Structures are given as structure tokens and as C-alpha cells.
């Protein structure tokens, strides 16, 4: 009886560690696959797609009546709730890191800067597409205002939301390179479909980086940081979903 129990236990342990090893191995293999595939795709697209090439735009009648809100749709962080309570009157967007002149801008400050509107498609990594109109200020405008230091290579977006809705959860973040940061369609949007940006879509401010998948379009932005490397941020892969196995270059 005892021996049988020991045998069962041993077999179960062996099976469990075998499966764990397989899981670990498959994870590491897919990590390798990602490194190779993503590297090829990023280089090929950067080579073939001109820096300024525009994402397709659509007409007003093509706007989705059912634009899906995905990921965080109602952040629960206390600092966010406090700002939301008074209509984001106390909101300040911080632009800092490797810049000459750090900025701290209210929503009013952002709205008084030159605004741009675009009707574009939003391609979720899951496969669906919604079309919406976004209005906001070009990211490049703010970066030039702050004055990027020459060593700045990436722009990191720090957000209010945690996907697990816990106060101490890992906050969402994203990063893009300067090619996308300076792209003419890359804006910080404060309006959607002609109305104040709603909470499910990232109020008060979200990123639109139109040549990449949805998860790059950080919502609920609180701080923009210019960095030389994002290795020290989060788990070091350049974004919340990147830290969980998704590609940093989300152009495909």
C-alpha cells in the first residue's frame, strides 16, 4: 500500500516536472521564434515602409457605431478615480526623462495646442477592427517643446490602469521608437468621434500610433518619458503585453 502510494507520488511528480519542463521549453522556444520573426518583420517593414507613409484613413460614414473597448475599460486606481471625480480638472500630463525642458500640461494646455483629427482603423491583436475618429495633439509637437536629448531613443507611456484592477498591480505601459513617435499620425488624443474621450477608450488622454496594433495605443496616459533603453522599466520588454510574450514591434 505504502509502496503503491510512493510510486503514484513519484510518477505524479515526474509527470508534473516533465510537463513543467515542456511548458518552460515551449515558452523559451517561442521566445526564440519571436526574436527571429519579429526581428525580420520589423526590419523588413522599416525598410519597405517609408517613415512618413500614412495609415489608411476613412470617411465619417464608415465610423464604427460599436467601437469595442478592450483591456482596461474603467481603471480603479485611486489616483485615477480622484482625477475622474472632478472631470480630470486636476490632470497633468508629465513629459520628462531625457528631455531638456520637462513639461507638466493640463488638459486645457493640450487642447490649446494645434489639434489634428483622423479617422482610422483600430486593429486589435485578437483580430477585430473598429473605425473611429481621433482628435488630439501630435506627439512630435510635445517632444519638440520638451526638447529631446540626443541620447533619447524610445518614448515610454506610463498609464494609470492595472489590468487586474488592484491598487498595487502592475500599471500598463507602452513604448515606441522615435520613427513612430515622430510619425505625422501619431497623436495624443483627447477626443473620439468629436466628443470628449470616454473612459472606456482611455480618458483623459490616449496614444494613437496608427501603424501598429491596438495594444500599442496606450490609454489613460499619465506620464511620457523619453529613455535610451526600456530595459529597466516593468519586466524590461517595452510594454505590459510585451512583458507577457507579445511582440514589441506590433506592425503585424
Residues in contact with other proteins, shown as a per-residue x/- string from 4 to 43 under the rule CB under 8 A: ----------------------xx--xx-xx-xxx-xx--
Quick check: 47 binds other proteins (CB under 8 A)? no
Question: Which H, E and C letters describe 135-188, residue by residue?
Answer: EEEEHHHHHHHHCECCCCCEEEEEEEEECCCCCCCCEEEEEEEHHHHCCCCCEE
Q: What is the largest CA-CA distance in the chain?
A: 80
Q: Which string of x and - marks every residue 188-227 that binds other proteins (by CB under 8 A)?
A: ----------------------xxxx--------------
CB of 70 to other proteins, least distance (A): 10
Residue 241 touching other proteins (CB under 8 A): yes
For residue 208, which of 127, 145, 119 has the smallest C-alpha distance? 119
The H or E element that residue 6 is part of is helix 2-48
Nearest approach, Cβ of 126 to other proteins (angstroms)? 4
Under rule CB under 8 A, residue 245 binds other proteins: yes
The stretch among 55-63, 77-85, 109-117, 139-147 that binds other proteins (CB under 8 A) is 55-63
Placement of cell 500640461 in the chain: 105
Mapping DSSP to helix (H, G, I), strand (E, B) and coil, where does residue 125 land?
A: coil
Report the DSSP pairing between strands 93-97 and 221-227: parallel
8 A C-beta contact, residue 124 and residue 214: yes
Among 58, 119, 140, 196, binds other proteins (CB under 8 A): 58
Could you say which residues in the range 125-154 bind other proteins, by CB under 8 A? 125-131
Q: Interface residues with other proteins (CB under 8 A)? A: 26-27, 30-31, 33-34, 36-38, 40-41, 45, 48-50, 53-56, 58, 62, 64, 66, 68, 121, 123-131, 210-213, 241, 244-247, 250-252
Amino acid at each position: 500500500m505504502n509502496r503503491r502510494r510512493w510510486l503514484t507520488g513519484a510518477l505524479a511528480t515526474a509527470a508534473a516536472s516533465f510537463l513543467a519542463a515542456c511548458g518552460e521549453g515551449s515558452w523559451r522556444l517561442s521566445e526564440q521564434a519571436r526574436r527571429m520573426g519579429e526581428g525580420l518583420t520589423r526590419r523588413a517593414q522599416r525598410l519597405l515602409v517609408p517613415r512618413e507613409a500614412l495609415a489608411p484613413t476613412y470617411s465619417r460614414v464608415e465610423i464604427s457605431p460599436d467601437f469595442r473597448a478592450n483591456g482596461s475599460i474603467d481603471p480603479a486606481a485611486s489616483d485615477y478615480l480622484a482625477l475622474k471625480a472632478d472631470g480630470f480638472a486636476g490632470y497633468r500630463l508629465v513629459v520628462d526623462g531625457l528631455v531638456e525642458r520637462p513639461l507638466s500640461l493640463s488638459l486645457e494646455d493640450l487642447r490649446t495646442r494645434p489639434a489634428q483629427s483622423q479617422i482610422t482603423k483600430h486593429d486589435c491583436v485578437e483580430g477585430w477592427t473598429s473605425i473611429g475618429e481621433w482628435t488630439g495633439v501630435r506627439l512630435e509637437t510635445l517632444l519638440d517643446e520638451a526638447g529631446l536629448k540626443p541620447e533619447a531613443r524610445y518614448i515610454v507611456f506610463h498609464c494609470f490602469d492595472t489590468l487586474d484592477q488592484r491598487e498595487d498591480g502592475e500599471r500598463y505601459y507602452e513604448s515606441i521608437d522615435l520613427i513612430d513617435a515622430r510619425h505625422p499620425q501619431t497623436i495624443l488624443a483627447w477626443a473620439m468621434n468629436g466628443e470628449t474621450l470616454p473612459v472606456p477608450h482611455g480618458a483623459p488622454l490616449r496614444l494613437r500610433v496608427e501603424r501598429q496594433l491596438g495594444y500599442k495605443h496606450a490609454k489613460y496616459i499619465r506620464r511620457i518619458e523619453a529613455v535610451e533603453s526600456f530595459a529597466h522599466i516593468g519586466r524590461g520588454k517595452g510594454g505590459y503585453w510585451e512583458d507577457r510574450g507579445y511582440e514589441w514591434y506590433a506592425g503585424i
